Structure 1
Amino acid sequence: MLADHEAHDQRSLRPRTRLIADTVTTVEQRRAGERVEATLEPRLVIPGNDGEPFISGDFLVAAYQRGYRWGRHEVRQLLDDIKANADDARKQGKTPSDYYLQPVVVLSRGEGLWELVDGQQRLTTLYLIAKYIGTRDPDAKVEYTLSYETRNQEGNDSRHFLEHLETLDDEVRKSNIDFHHIAVAYDEITEWFREQTNPKKAANDIYNALSEWVYVIWYEAPSDTNPNDLFTRLNRDRIPLTDSELIKALVLSNSGAAVGQPGRQEEIAAQWDAFERDLRDDQFWAFLTGSTTRRPTHIDFLFESMTPPAGLRVRPRYWTFEKVRDDIEKRGAAAFWRDVVARHGLLTGWFHDRELYHRIGYLVAIGDSVPDLIEASRSQTHSAFRAALVDRTRQRLKLSRDEVSLLQYGKNDAKCTDVLLLMNVETVLASSDRGARFSFHAYARDGWSLEHIHAQNAEGLKKENQRRDWLEAHVKKIRSTEWSAELAPAAEQVAGLIDAHLALAPGRTDDIGFQEILDKAFALFGSPGGSSTQENLHGLSNLALLQRDFNSKLNNAVFALKRERVVELDEAGAYILPCTRNVFLKYYTAAADQQLSIWGPQDQEQYYEKLLAAIGTFLAVEVDAEGQDVA
């Protein structure tokens, strides 16, 4: 297949059906200066099937475009692909399936006059192919002309050159670079036909193809489009027409005056713009996609949710448009658009329903998809769907209470993250503030990672300057902390060890001495008598979610220092997940157990109890040997 966006793009083969879109734009509208929406239809290359549109008119390739540059490979590839499509059908005893080239983008410049914004390589090559066939069959007439503005300005007549190419001498054919490339392409077309077993039959087969089943997707841009800007987007910036732009033209071309409803186009266009604005809202977009990635047009999401890719991992270009086109052909544009409006209403309804917003937003954030959720909602009542979301979350987590207790940092990071995110989402949902909403946009935007609430080691402190920074920060924290009479001597001892270590000349510090201080500092800020087993170090009772860039700043610090920095970040307006904030502000610890500089067993136990209380509804029910629920 041809490589770039100018290349031929064969669509998935399908039964031989066609959509004839009625173009509602009139010359009178253009002359009156009214804004005309884009129109779209498939067009045959040369006249053939009765009543089907074909390419016609006079096309100007404006000076802002580069010249014709297709080479021998691209020309041959196009002919080979068309021939292969016909050969495959012939072997199966079938009629060739409709075959679509990429969109040709035009702007009207008066009746029968078009500015060719995108597609000059394809239209020029198709013109040359039809021209060659015309030397064999006088009925094979192309009904359009091409003119290149830059070449006309040089005193050349590009239209005349194309029309008489086969009779011109080498001097004219090589008079400028565009003429040279066009002549080379025509020679390659001639050579391709000569190489066929039966050149006359090959010419007849290609003629039948261009007049019966090879189409361009004709896209007439809105009348107020700036052609330079559109060309830049499509070519220099390599941003092709989106599915939604093609779908919009298709829907509007099949609505309005063509179906006896003159005002329908304006109504659909207004709805379209409203839907696009809604989907560009950061919170709504992240709720639906679990992402903050922007697109040229966001309304594509609605159409993609209606056209699942049937097992394909990646949608081919214009897959969505082709599926919508088939749907409109079968049901009509009115029925299709009613479904779009209903789908938009369903999604905005979910977004504005506080419970559904949190339950669905969480599922999307951990990998569920809105199209699957829409499908699940179709066969259920509203209340049944709400209940089903709880069960759906339970099935995705696949955790019992015992299994939650065994989750470990470094072994089950993804599950730990899912559990902690659920705790945060459910905490916001359960808030007495009925206006509180978890920000799935901030969650998708910032990137989150697991953070030990109280560290027990200092991984990554390999360089001397890193160790000195750690020691300076922690000795400052030790000296600013009010210690109990029981811990004061130990605190002074650790501070003295740090002072002595920092007093060593640069390069004289050693890993062994640093590790001794490290162990004593972690023990000092730990709970007296508390153990440091793998379970309470790496389990959920000692984990929280924090932005990755914040995590890197807090990593390796004891709880007291982390708490101080989290408070500073919170005061500065940084987004901290609600449960992470609650942990470091000690909201989960009973007043009687409050020790602000320590994260000990009593803190871990009460934090873990709150976690289980928040997510308990979504955990699998455990059964005993007799199959009875375990309380």
Structure 2
Amino acid sequence: MEATLEPRLVMKGEPGKPFVGGEFFVASYQRGYRWGRDEVRRLLDDIRGNAAAAEKRRALPADYYLQPIVVLRRGDGWELVDGQQRLTTLFLITKYVATKFSDARVEYSLTYETREGSRAFLDDLDMTRRDENIDFHHIAEAYDAIVEWFGEQNSAGQAAIDIHSALSKWVFVIWYEAPAGTDPNDLFIRINRDRIPLTDSELIKALVLSNDGAAEGQSSRQQEIAAQWDGFERDLRDEQFWAFLTGKTIKQSTHIDFLFESMTPPAGLKTRPRYWTFGKVLEQVSRSGAAAFWSDVVERHGLLTGWFNDRELYHRVGYLIATGASMVDLIQSSRSLTHTAFRDHLNELTRSRLGLTRSDLSLLRYDHPRDAAKCTDVLLLMNVQTVLGSSDPGSKFSFFAYAQQGWSLEHIHARHSEDLKTEQQRRDWITAHLAEINRTTWETGAREAVEAVIAKMTAHLSLPQTRTDTAGFEDILDRVFALFSAGEDQSDDEAIHGLRNLALLQRDFNSKLNNAVFSLKRERILELDSRGAYILPCTRNVFLKYYTPSAEQQLSIWSPQDQGVYYDKLVETVSDFLRADPVSVAVEAA
């Protein structure tokens, strides 16, 4: 027998709606009542806050779900396995409300196995007994906090009526009855010692597989759903699939929640309230039945795996998710469009997210704060498009690697020293570049400049470790950049910070390569590549000089010619996702 689950109102409300009732037994394996003033007030504040939020929206309060109450059948009553603190506090609140509002009545009782006379104490709340034992003391303190909270309201009587209305109309406990035969000690240990709370997905599973939830209660149907559930969870745990769906690599205790959350978006809410997903699923099941709900889940899983296995959709959707699009919105759009129209829609979304013309693209700069993120989006699109356009039909861009490693913009050829702030960093830079200069074959006409800078670098390294020669280092830096810069104007902002001199590189690699000249970066990239490090395809192509015709290649420098062909290739690769320039539109109209 599967667990059964349903929402129950805290107090008796409309006829036919289940509510908390009966005799509850708190066994000795549990600790006693320990909630203090803060926990009690927080519960009351939460209930009042939900009502206040609804009043602001000029709407009725939404159903509000407290954490689960886990019980086992025990004779004519219940063994309370989890939820003792909440249920005891709710009992005390209803006892207070009953003193102010005659229609209020407590429909359940509590007995602590370890405290003789506990039921009578709770029923009577005889405060002369508050110091008989530690449990009675804490219960009395909690009741004092309840009296204090109501006393702080504008009218204690009206507040009692409002709380009664909440507890009898829209505040529910999630009633979770464990299957007959469950060992209560084992269940208690799982929930409390290991601190593994019941999740939305566990509650949904209990709902769907319960005797009331499964189609006609058939065990074969339950087994089928359970097998599908495990299969969906397995699929969603695939790191590539998960990164494609979420743009993240963070693992969760359960991944199937993603399917349910995509079906229950918290419209207008910044964060998803506790058990929001379960509450919304419960509404769907109540409205159309568990079989129809599960059919929707199967369809949702099929839709997403279909996108993942379709090479074009994989890259289109994956790029949008990686740049901040909502999977919920994409799913919603797909429901009203044909396959062809949906593909066109994805292209238009990409075009809209970039929001760039060719002219805009040429003006993007690394050193403009608003441009940096846009540069990243453009370069990512170039990489995605490059893989999608590959002649290898099995090649796929790894959104997992992209999400996992953290990428940042890198100057292909550096021209600044802002990050070289300590003398040790400067010495390390000089040492690395001195070795690179000595490895490079120089033309005869450059030998004089080469020997001069080598002499200055050697002299700087021979200074005492405590000696700082900032001006001397800046001179060395300028000379080294001049050697490796093919004579281009180093003051040209586009040559320094434009897209023609930018690529994406893992942040940890970037920090090691920052401020290095092209030839040294190229050597390090090739070394990383030979060790199997993941490098984005276009970044690899840049440092392999893939975009430059072989007759024009100079492997030690990133020349204006290199920049030009690289930028032309970038524009060509992303051109389908650029908007038309206003001037071009005017010419075409004419």
Whether TM exceeds 0.5 here: the answer is yes
SS in 2 for 1:487: helix
What is the CA–CA distance in structure 2 between the aligned matches of 1:628 and 1:42, rounded to whole Å? 65
What is the CA–CA distance in structure 2 between the aligned matches of 1:93 and 1:538, rounded to whole Å? 52
Does 2:13 match 1:54? no
Does 2:217 match 1:217? no
1:106 corresponds to which of 37, 62, 70? 70
What is the CA–CA distance in structure 1 between the aligned matches of 2:65 and 2:506, rounded to whole Å? 46
2:320 maps to which residue?
Answer: 363
What is the CA–CA distance in structure 2 between the aligned matches of 1:275 and 1:563, rounded to whole Å? 43
Does 2:2 match 1:43? no
2:86 maps to which residue?
Answer: 122
Does 2:531 match 1:572? yes
1:587 corresponds to which of 526, 537, 546? 546
Question: What aligned pairs does 1:348-497 form with structure 2 within 5 A after superposition?
Answer: 348-411=305-368, 412-497=371-456
1:265 corresponds to which of 222, 227, 237? 222
**Residue type matched to 2:172 in 1?**
Y
CA contact (8 A) 1:255 1:334 kept: no
What is the CA–CA distance in structure 2 between the aligned matches of 1:574 and 1:175, rounded to whole Å? 68
What is the CA–CA distance in structure 2 between the aligned matches of 1:614 and 1:98, rounded to whole Å? 49
1:542 maps to which residue?
Answer: 501
The Cα of 1:577 is off from its aligned counterpart by 1.0
Deviations, residues 355-396 of structure 1 (Å, cap 9, x unaligned): 110111001111111111112212221122112211211111
CA separation of 1:191 and 1:401: change in aligned 2, threshold 3 A: closer
1:513 maps to which residue?
Answer: 472
CA contact (8 A) 1:100 1:217 kept: no
Structure 1 stretch 326-335 or stretch 271-280: which is displaced more? 326-335
- TM-score under structure 2 length normalisation: 0.87
- TM-score under structure 1 length normalisation: 0.82
What is the CA–CA distance in structure 1 between the aligned matches of 2:58 and 2:452, rounded to whole Å? 92
SS in 2 for 1:263: helix
What is the CA–CA distance in structure 2 between the aligned matches of 1:546 and 1:80, rounded to whole Å? 49
Structure 1 stretch 122-131 or stretch 203-212: which is displaced more? 203-212
1:624 maps to which residue?
Answer: 583
The Cα of 1:476 is off from its aligned counterpart by 0.9
Question: What aligned pairs does 1:19-418 form with structure 2 within 5 A after superposition?
Answer: 29=1, 36=2, 38-45=3-10, 49-62=14-27, 65-72=30-37, 75=40, 100-108=64-72, 110-112=74-76, 114-130=78-94, 142=106, 144-148=108-112, 152=114, 156-157=115-116, 159-162=118-121, 165-167=124-126, 169-170=128-129, 173-186=130-143, 214-221=171-178, 223=182, 226-232=187-193, 234=195, 240-253=197-210, 259=216, 261-411=218-368, 412-418=371-377
Structure 2 residues not aligned, in runs of 5+: none
Structure 1 stretch 505-514 or stretch 157-166: which is displaced more? 157-166
CA contact (8 A) 1:98 1:215 kept: no
The Cα of 1:208 is off from its aligned counterpart by 7.4
What is the CA–CA distance in structure 1 between the aligned matches of 2:427 and 2:52, rounded to whole Å? 75
The Cα of 1:86 is off from its aligned counterpart by 9.4
The Cα of 1:452 is off from its aligned counterpart by 0.5
The Cα of 1:503 is off from its aligned counterpart by 1.9
Deviations, residues 208-255 of structure 1 (Å, cap 9, x unaligned): 775666532212356487421222455xxxx65332223222333375
Residue identity over aligned pairs, in percent, reads 61
SS in 2 for 1:451: strand
CA separation of 1:457 and 1:113: change in aligned 2, threshold 3 A: same
Deviations, residues 4-57 of structure 1 (Å, cap 9, x unaligned): xxxxxxxxxxxxxxxxxxxxxxxxx4xxxxxx2x43211233556544433345
CA contact (8 A) 1:622 1:629 kept: no
1:10 maps to which residue?
Answer: none
**Residue type matched to 2:83 in 1?**
G
**Residue type matched to 2:502 in 1?**
L
Deviations, residues 567-623 of structure 1 (Å, cap 9, x unaligned): 111122221111111111222221111221111112111211221121111111235
CA separation of 1:230 and 1:112: change in aligned 2, threshold 3 A: farther
**Equivalent pairs, count:** 582
The Cα of 1:535 is off from its aligned counterpart by 0.8
The Cα of 1:562 is off from its aligned counterpart by 0.8
CA contact (8 A) 2:41 2:149 kept: yes
What is the CA–CA distance in structure 1 between the aligned matches of 2:337 and 2:144, rounded to whole Å? 64
What is the CA–CA distance in structure 1 between the aligned matches of 2:568 and 2:158, rounded to whole Å? 81
2:519 maps to which residue?
Answer: 560
**Residue type matched to 1:67 in 2?**
G
SS in 1 for 2:444: coil
What is the CA–CA distance in structure 2 between the aligned matches of 1:181 and 1:272, rounded to whole Å? 43
What is the CA–CA distance in structure 1 between the aligned matches of 2:559 and 2:52, rounded to whole Å? 76
CA separation of 1:337 and 1:400: change in aligned 2, threshold 3 A: same
CA separation of 1:124 and 1:373: change in aligned 2, threshold 3 A: same
CA separation of 1:245 and 1:524: change in aligned 2, threshold 3 A: same
**Residue type matched to 2:5 in 1?**
L
Structure 1 stretch 376-385 or stretch 485-494: which is displaced more? 485-494
What is the CA–CA distance in structure 1 between the aligned matches of 2:504 and 2:109, rounded to whole Å? 64
What is the CA–CA distance in structure 1 between the aligned matches of 2:26 and 2:518, rounded to whole Å? 68
Structure 1 stretch 441-450 or stretch 133-142: which is displaced more? 133-142
The Cα of 1:313 is off from its aligned counterpart by 1.9
**Residue type matched to 2:241 in 1?**
F
CA contact (8 A) 1:290 1:364 kept: yes
**Residue type matched to 1:495 in 2?**
I
Deviations, residues 172-207 of structure 1 (Å, cap 9, x unaligned): x31221111113334566788899999999989877
Deviations, residues 63-86 of structure 1 (Å, cap 9, x unaligned): 565432334565567668878999
CA contact (8 A) 1:45 1:126 kept: yes
CA separation of 1:560 and 1:197: change in aligned 2, threshold 3 A: closer
CA separation of 1:281 and 1:504: change in aligned 2, threshold 3 A: same
Deviations, residues 314-363 of structure 1 (Å, cap 9, x unaligned): 22222222222222222222222221111111111001111110111001
CA separation of 1:614 and 1:233: change in aligned 2, threshold 3 A: farther
CA RMSD of aligned residues (A): 3.6
**Residue type matched to 1:119 in 2?**
G
Structure 1 residues not aligned, in runs of 5+: 1-28, 30-35
What is the CA–CA distance in structure 2 between the aligned matches of 1:275 and 1:491, rounded to whole Å? 63
CA contact (8 A) 1:255 1:261 kept: no
SS in 2 for 1:545: strand
CA contact (8 A) 2:504 2:536 kept: yes
SS in 2 for 1:278: helix
